[in-house]
Structure 1
Amino acid sequence: MPAPTEEFLAEMLPRQTAAERAIHNGDAGPRTALWSKADPVSLFGAWLPIRTGWADVSDAFRRVAAQFSDSREYRFEVVAAGASGDLAYTIGYEHNTVTLNGKPATYTLRVTHVYRREEGEWKIVHRHGDRPPDEPAPDAPLNSR
């Protein structure tokens, strides 16, 4: 892996993993802090309609966090990543064991993130998550409102 990609991953992945654990414990704050507030930003959520613009994206994070608690495991398995200049991306799988709408759930999502460096700090500007074709749907789907 080229040095810029290794440096990006070393800087970003620990912060992103901590933020994902927090949102799966009901706290959207750390995820919100990792995202750019400068449009364009977009979220193609696994269970939510497409969101664009910071107001819609941040609202989606609060809604998602409200449905999760008791994160017992979160792991991000990186399949591919790259960084060049002020842009970077990750592609991988998120493995989760949590409580979703009051019921235990274990699931995997395929996820792609796009990052932009702003004032020297990496920020997420896009997330696309969906279930792999062979992954069963959780028993308690997220509210799509």
Structure 2
Amino acid sequence: MSELDDFLTAMLDRQIAAETAIHNGEVEPRMALWSRSDPVTLLGAMGMSNVGWDTVSQTFRWVASRFSNCTAYSFELLAAGASGDLAYTVGFEHADLSVDGGPPQSTKVRVTHVYRREGGEWKIVHRHGDYVPVDDLPPEPGRGTATAGE
């Protein structure tokens, strides 16, 4: 098994389970995957930028308090790499959930994670997530692009 395969086997299923949990308002599984050793950083889809475990963990608690009723979560891995004690993933998170008790909605977030091996275990040390701008989405199947006057 390659270094990358070892990393993905050790981390990906655990991370998907933790992300599903936070989309249902449960923060602890996500927090368990994160390093407590600075530097840790978070650049978020909700406009937040945090440096240091204290502020990052507070943000996770706030995010979890806003999310509920996740009926679907998936992670679309686009790229990944691992070398020594560092690794990364890049992909899209797709979720159907309620935000602030509102009606269910579908979300798509571009995410990049950086991982560091600590004591033989992979830990997340950075997350950058942002919502995919509508202009970056391809047309839906069966719908072409319309021009003015059509």
TM-score (norm 2): 0.87
- Using the alignment, how far apart are the partners of 2:41 and 2:127 within structure 1? 7
3-state SS of the aligned residue for 1:12?
helix
Partner of 1:83: 82
- Using the alignment, how far apart are the partners of 1:135 and 1:122 within structure 2? 35
Identical columns (%): 56
* Cα distance, 1:129 vs structure 2: 0.2
Partner of 2:143: none
Partner of 2:59: 60
- For the pair shown, which has the larger CA radius of gyration, 1 or 2? 2
- Using the alignment, how far apart are the partners of 2:3 and 2:120 within structure 1? 14
3-state SS of the aligned residue for 2:48?
coil
* Cα distance, 1:133 vs structure 2: 2.0
Which string of whole-angstrom CA distances, capped at 9 and with x for unpartnered residues, describes residues 31-89 of structure 1?
Answer: 00000000000000100320000000000000000001111111000000000100000
Partner of 1:34: 33
Q: Confirm or deny: 8 A CA contact 1:107 1:135 kept in the other structure.
A: no
- Using the alignment, how far apart are the partners of 1:8 and 1:120 within structure 2? 11
Letter in 1 for 2:127: R
* Cα distance, 1:6 vs structure 2: 1.1
Provide structure 2 residue ranges, at least 5 long, that are not aligned to the other structure.
137-150
Q: Which 4+ stretches in 1 moved above 6 angstroms?
A: none
Two-structure CA RMSD over aligned residues (Å): 1.4
Q: Confirm or deny: 8 A CA contact 1:76 1:93 kept in the other structure.
A: yes
Q: Does 1:111 align with 2:119?
A: no
3-state SS of the aligned residue for 2:37?
coil
- Using the alignment, how far apart are the partners of 1:48 and 1:36 within structure 2? 22
Letter in 2 for 1:120: G
Q: Does 1:96 align with 2:95?
A: yes
Which string of whole-angstrom CA distances, capped at 9 and with x for unpartnered residues, describes residues 102-126 of structure 1?
Answer: 1211110000000000000000000
Partner of 1:45: 44
Distance 1:39 1:135, change over 3 A: farther
The number of residues matched between the two structures is 135
Letter in 2 for 1:62: R
3-state SS of the aligned residue for 1:33?
helix
- Using the alignment, how far apart are the partners of 1:59 and 1:105 within structure 2? 24
- Using the alignment, how far apart are the partners of 1:16 and 1:49 within structure 2? 21
